[in-house]
Amino acid sequence: MTPAERIVIQAARAWATSDREAATADLLAAVEALEIERAGRAEGARVEVDLTWGELVEGDEVFNREADKWFPVRAAVRHVGQPMVTVDFVGRRSLAIKPIGHRCRVRRGATGEAVDMFASVLWSAPSSVARP
């Protein structure tokens, strides 16, 4: 699920459970943000998101503030038994070892978008079933 999709869902839930007149502006703004995000994807633009180092996959690009440059991810491997990830960047000789929970600016690649879509479907169902 993308950040814009999350915002639309939150705004829709707030609209459905509150004073609809007051919540309508928030819902319309959220829908507009989602439309802008989708238009960018349709034009081939890669959407920038804040993720954790543990969410990186091959094909993503990570922004380095010091270098003011995007670095493509060749591979990201979690350490067994430790909250760390080793990231191999295209064009860099050394590997980066980062805490999985720390945040980074990412442009998702095709693999990352597929992972996000799968996660969206997997966790979109209700967490419990009402029984009669």
Give tens-digit pLDDT for 75-89. Answer: 999 999 999 999 999
Domain tally, the chain: 2
Q: Where are the alpha helices (DSSP H) in the chain?
A: 3-17, 20-42, 110-122
CATH number of the domain to which 103 belongs: 2.30.30
* pLDDT for 69: 94
Dist CA 28 CA 13 (whole Å):
13
Same domain, 99 and 118: yes
Same domain, 24 and 65: no
> Higher-confidence residue: 113 or 67?
67
Same domain, 38 and 54: no
Containing structural domain, residue 76: 48-122
> Higher-confidence residue: 103 or 120?
103
With both helix axes pointing from N to C terminus, report the angle between 20-42 and 3-17 in degrees, rounded to the nearest 10: 160
Is 76 within the bounds of a domain? yes
Q: How much of the chain is helix, strand and coil, in % rounded to 5?
A: 40, 25, 35
pTM assigned to the model:
0.62
Is 132 within the bounds of a domain? no
Is 24 within the bounds of a domain? yes
Same domain, 59 and 32: no
* Start-to-end CA span in the chain (Å): 31
Strand partners, 77: 86
> Higher-confidence residue: 93 or 37?
93
